[in-house]
A and B are shown apart, each in its own frame.
Chain A
Amino acid sequence: MVNVPILTITYALPLVGAAAILLIPRERAALARPLALFFTSLALIASLLACGRFDAALAGYQLVESTTWIPRLGITYHLGIDGISLPLVLLTTFLGPITVLSAFGCITERHKEFYAALLALIGFSLGSFLALDTVLFYLFFELMLVPMFLIIGIWGGKGRVHAAVKFFLFTVAGSLPFLLGLIALKIYSGSPTFGLTDLLSMPALAPSIQCWLFLAFAFAFAIKVPMVPVHTWLPDAHGEAPTPGSVWLAAVLLKVGVYGFLRFALPLFPVAVETFAPYLMALSVIGIVYGALLALAQTNMKRLVAYSSVSHMGYIMLGVFALNEAGIAGGVFQMVAHGLTTGGLFLLVGMLYERRHTLDIPSYGGLARVMPWHATAFMVVVLGSAALPGLCGFIGEFLVLLGAARVGWLWAALGGLGIIFGAAYLLVLYRGLMFGAVRHRQNESLPDLSLREGLVIAPVAVLIVVLGLLPSPVLQRVRPAVGEVLRRVEAGGAVAGRAAARPAAPPAFLDRATPPKED
């Protein structure tokens, strides 16, 4: 039992499911749905088993699976989880069956191909969170693109081709420097393999090399997150993707970018991280406010939620580059919280779209009377997203801002503007959809949540509350891993002859309080 490669099984299950779905004969295509549900549920069970074996007190990688794979190129097959990847893996497997179930309502053609693509997407996403070999990560990182591209391009809305191509071009543009950076990293460091543990055990790189390589990595990850100003692919992709695609994009795909920063860029290039952290914090704060303002200007509900993602992802990056425990742990928690709340928003918005086939907010109004259950679930998710204390969004944003305040209180004050604007666009969205009189006759008779839709949204809403009140089980596991990342960043900074950048004693309080101007 002990030697069962549970991580490989976790990510392989959806991939096997995808293959199985592709193999069913065309006249039995209806089987695609139960099969997809079956395999994603199995993956959820597998990940829960892995979670059961995970020792919360340990800092390093656990359940490690490591073999040589392509020795001539120094590529290894190396999987493992720590407290940073575990919550993301669980978020991914939790949303798997939910996303599949949500697809039942909105996918009306090419069922087989759709569920195969969706399961491949789920499998590759899991793989990217599990990989500890940089090339393996790169493979999963790139492979995710293919099914996502197809899901937007084939099952999307009117502008799907443009959106899919834009999504693809942006991401590929980031991947190229990332790949070159990887190869350069191996050459410069003299590491025998691309394995992360090998790379980390090499002597520190020269600061200038670190900076160049960090920029190459950061470019790829920043596009994925996305950070302002490379965010413009996101609203198009969200606006056109079908509901399950939007859910997956917001809830999981964007997290891979942040995860890349945390897993690779921070530990590998500590000196560069210290150098660039203020700039990245500034970009994050700009992203928070900018994204929120953009969301306020939208009349298309999916684009509104997409821009809210830009704002919320800004919080996560702000926490990560605060480079302290509260900030990074808050960022990791916020990734889970954002996955649930934004995923939930796309699910609920998608249910409206299935009924009325429009994303235009003014086409709705007064739905709280017509669809009370939908309105109730929507309220819970909106409040979770608006960081109401007691719901999951609050823990993440509170810790992120606490971490940012430790760098300088002005960071927290500027980032905190997002909680005001965030409440504004979310409540305005809610009023637009749910309150007021019913203005369109079609809306008079819209059916409330079906049983299937209830099963889709109820687990999300419940988890939003549960994680808000009991975040400790997650945070307990996150903290040791965050401590490990911070230890590397600080050690790296010290090796390079810099004073330990963030002393524990209170620094001069207004130190670094003014964000550097963006250049």
Chain B
Amino acid sequence: MDNPILFLTILLPPFLGALVIGLTGRYLPRKLPGILGCATVLVSLAASIRGFVDLHHVEGALLEADFGVWFAVAPLTVRFHFLLDPLASFMTLVVSGVGFLIHVYSIGYMRHEARDERFFSFMNLFTGTMLTLVLAGNLPLMFIGWEGVGLCSYLLIGYWFTDGAKAAAGIKAFLVNRIGDLGFLIGIFLLVHAIGTVDFQALAQPALFESVGAGLLCGIGLCLFLGATGKSAQIPLYMWLPDAMAGPTPVSALIHAATMVTAGVYMVGRLGVLFAASGVLPIVAVVGAATAFFAATMALTERDLKKVLAYSTVSQLGFMFLAMGCGAYSAGIFHVYTHAFFKALLFLAAGSVIHALHGEQDIRRMGGLLRKLPVTGTTFLIGGLALAGLPLLSGYLSKDEILLAARTSFVPLWLLAELTALLTAAYVGRLVWLVFFGKTRIEAAAWAGVRESPPVMTGPLVVLAAGAALAGYVNLPHVVAHEGAALLKRFLAIAGEQAITASAAAEVAGLVVSGLVCFGGLALAYGFVVRRRAQLHARLARPGALGRLHALLLAKYFVDGFCMRYLAGGARKLAGVVHFLDELFVDAFLVRGVFGLLVRILGEATRLLQAGRVQAYGMALVLGGAAMLLYLLLSEIPW
């Protein structure tokens, strides 16, 4: 059913907000940009809810709107065509809902800044482009949102641009994403070549892919997946995300945890039929599981509060791709949704801690903060336990779905995922303990000044904590309540989803194992971090395998350093060499060689002119031109 008004009320307010706040913000009263920014997202949220409700009454559960042709050239016509199906509707709720809470929190977080109109303008622009990405009805239109959110990410990572390192982190994020985006583009080109359409509705027809060669389909899938790894920080394009923590914390929560980084997962779900037909799903699963594992190990030793959460995000995104790779699309989207709650919560609560400690991010200089920050601490604990997969919290339910899918498709990946879940609980336990419990490692003077954040910040924390605890109940395991309880899965009904069949006993076993793994991880953390911290440090300090492993993890497997040094640095060196060659070889030798005699002769003339008599030369040119015209004119006259 066509409903252009609905789409306009979802999409336009954040864009208008970005424009108005960006252009007039510096002339508005101090607090108005923040309020305006929240209001526009609230309008989007209301419209998203309306769309969600409407969808239940519409035949075929599909709303659409077509605003005409964007561009058309043989063989491709791209329209401004937007779609609201259950998947898109669900994502708009997550984006505008979590987005709204984070906008409200930001009013408090940014209140010490002299001005914040740039911040809210970019945040609104982000919300608008993210909603465009979600609602787009074809790949090129999705690409507007895709690169648009990347742009906002770049602008917001480098928000405090007077710090050169932060600006550089923004560039790194943009460029790494561009590598993925090139894959995305080539995927589109191959798709146009092979199938001739880029419309999502058309691409949901499995019959379309039957006549296409397997190699070509595989190529399309791989190219598009490369795009997804860039945006969603998976191997090999994950290294921009930890650096992205240079941005203000609400940005980390909204863009680098809850929404933008899940765009790759969403894209795979959106193109579910294509990915299922392309045969690259096993690669998606392996990349996801491997990323989840390696990122979790790096989170274990990281000392920066936000970066622990960043590696954790990379790891959880890996879980989502593992689900997608197993064809369990709704499980992946389910985890996108629960993760949006608990990870946004963790980041905002971390922001509250950093705010209270005036910018301190090193967890070695925290401890015991629960007493000083009761709301922040409690909500952080809830978010952390949801992340660790404590039974009955949201993260437990969504992660269990993924583990079940992995177990039924490929057992080694399942084992790796269970191991990762164990590590997850361990690093969560370590983080929560080091920040909020034990004896504080903050100096007494600073300790006395630590205050809980204002209600405008803690309010969103409480709402998100409720979500982190309860959000999972929209999609209960099959065994608990049979078909009726998997509300989300039935609602989403993603095309191309592969059915997972497991006996009731196997499901129960999975639920129990997940619970045990969570407690096991927490116990590990308790054992090493709480009880035997001193012994652990002594062991790590001695030379040996454990010490070397620790050093390896601290250096993040040397991958980032290698890439920055040899790839980024190499490109710069290459540029320098090319520059030198261009001046020396191409300009001085090759070109003059080609021109040969001509230049040598004219060169003599040039030397006469080097003495500044260029006007005379110009005059000669003009006279020459005039003479030519005169000749042509004279030849016209019949003598």
A residues apposed to B, CB below 8 Å: 69-70, 72-73, 75, 142-143, 145-146, 149-150, 153-154, 160-162, 164-165, 169, 172-173, 228-230, 232, 290, 293-294, 296-298, 324-326, 329-330, 366, 368-369, 372, 376, 383, 388-390, 395, 398-399, 401-402, 405-406, 409, 412-413, 416-417, 419-421, 423-424, 427-428, 431, 434-437, 469, 471-472, 475-476, 479, 506, 509
Contact = CB atoms under 8 A, between A and B. Distances in A.
B582 A169 contact: no
B162 A369 contact: yes
B586 A395 contact: no
B179 interface: yes
A399 B71 contact: yes
Nearest to B145: A389
26 contacts: A69-B636, A70-B635, A143-B625, A146-B625, A169-B595, A169-B599, A169-B602, A173-B598, A229-B594, A294-B578, A297-B575, A383-B151, A388-B147, A388-B151, A389-B140, A399-B71, A402-B76, A402-B188, A412-B189, A419-B178, A427-B170, A435-B161, A472-B68, A472-B71, A479-B73, A509-B193
A326 B74 contact: yes
Contacts of B192: 402, 405
Nearest to A329: B73
Given A146-B625, A389-B144, A402-B192, 5 more contacts: A153-B614, A369-B162, A388-B151, A431-B164, A435-B161
Contacts of B632: 70, 75
Contact of B579 (A153, A294, A369, A389): A294
A399 B189 CA distance: 10
A446 B456 CA distance: 38
Contact of A416 (B22, B182, B578, B614): B182
A271 B309 CA distance: 62
A49 B451 CA distance: 68
Interface centre among A143, A388, A427, A479 (most CB of B within 10 A): A427
B11 to A, nearest CB: 13
Contacts of A421: 571
Interface string B585-600: 0110011001100110
Interface in B557-589: 571-572, 574-576, 578-579, 582, 586-587
A321 B213 CA distance: 28
A420 B575 contact: no
Nearest to B585: A229
A431 B171 contact: yes
B410 interface: no
A49 B618 CA distance: 35
A232 B171 contact: no
B576 A297 contact: yes
B547 to A, nearest CB: 38
A146 B554 CA distance: 64
Nearest to A486: B74
Nearest to A219: B594
A379 to B, nearest CB: 8
A145 B624 CA distance: 13
Interface of B: 22, 26, 68-76, 140, 143-144, 146-148, 151, 154, 158, 161-164, 167-168, 170-171, 174-175, 178-179, 181-182, 185-186, 188-190, 192-194, 213, 216, 219, 571-572, 574-576, 578-579, 582, 586-587, 590-591, 594-595, 598-599, 602, 606, 609-610, 612, 614-615, 617-618, 621-622, 625, 632, 635-636
Contacts of A368: 161
B576 to A, nearest CB: 5
Contact of B578 (A153, A297, A406, A428): A297
A232 B586 contact: yes
Contact of B161 (A164, A297, A413, A436): A436
Given A150-B618, A232-B591, A369-B162, A296 B167 contact: no
B228 to A, nearest CB: 17
B23 to A, nearest CB: 9
Nearest to B590: A229
A222 to B, nearest CB: 11
Contact of A405 (B190, B586, B635): B190
Contacts of B587: 232
Nearest first, the 8 closest Cβ-Cβ pairs linking A and B are: A405-B189, A297-B579, A435-B167, A232-B587, A296-B575, A297-B575, A435-B161, A153-B614
Given A146-B621, A398-B140, A401-B189, A431 B168 contact: yes
Contacts of B571: 293, 296, 421, 424
Contacts of A506: 193-194
Contacts of B618: 146, 149-150, 153-154
Contacts of B598: 173
B591 A230 contact: yes
A170 to B, nearest CB: 8
Contacts of B617: 153
A326 B73 contact: yes
A423 B151 CA distance: 11
B162 A436 contact: yes
Given A154-B614, A165-B606, A406-B193, A70 B74 contact: no
Contacts of A413: 182, 186
Contacts of B178: 419-420, 423
A419 B175 contact: no
B186 A416 contact: yes
Contacts of A146: 618, 621-622, 625
B148 A427 contact: no
Nearest to A150: B618
Interface centre among B26, B189, B606 (most CB of A within 10 A): B189
Interface centre among A325, A416, A423, A479 (most CB of B within 10 A): A423
Contacts of A72: 635
Contacts of B636: 69-70
Contact of B171 (A390, A395, A428, A479): A428
A423 B617 CA distance: 41
Given A297-B578, A472-B72, A229 B591 contact: yes
A366 B162 contact: yes
B570 to A, nearest CB: 11
Given A73-B635, A372-B26, A427-B171, A509 B591 contact: no
A391 B621 CA distance: 41
A479 B26 CA distance: 44
Contacts of A428: 171
Contacts of B590: 229
B254 to A, nearest CB: 20
B612 A161 contact: yes
Contacts of B615: 150, 153-154
B141 to A, nearest CB: 9
A168 to B, nearest CB: 8
Contacts of A145: 621
A475 B635 contact: no
Contacts of B194: 506
A344 B175 CA distance: 23
A515 to B, nearest CB: 16
A510 to B, nearest CB: 9
Interface centre among A73, A162, A420, A475 (most CB of B within 10 A): A420
A509 B186 contact: no
A293 B573 CA distance: 10
A423 B144 contact: no
A475 B73 contact: yes
Contacts of A417: 182
Nearest to B160: A435
Nearest to A402: B189
B599 A173 contact: yes
B162 A435 contact: yes
B497 to A, nearest CB: 29
A165 B617 CA distance: 10
Contacts of B158: 431, 435
A409 B223 CA distance: 12
A472 B69 contact: yes
A419 B193 contact: no
Contacts of A325: 73-74
A331 to B, nearest CB: 11
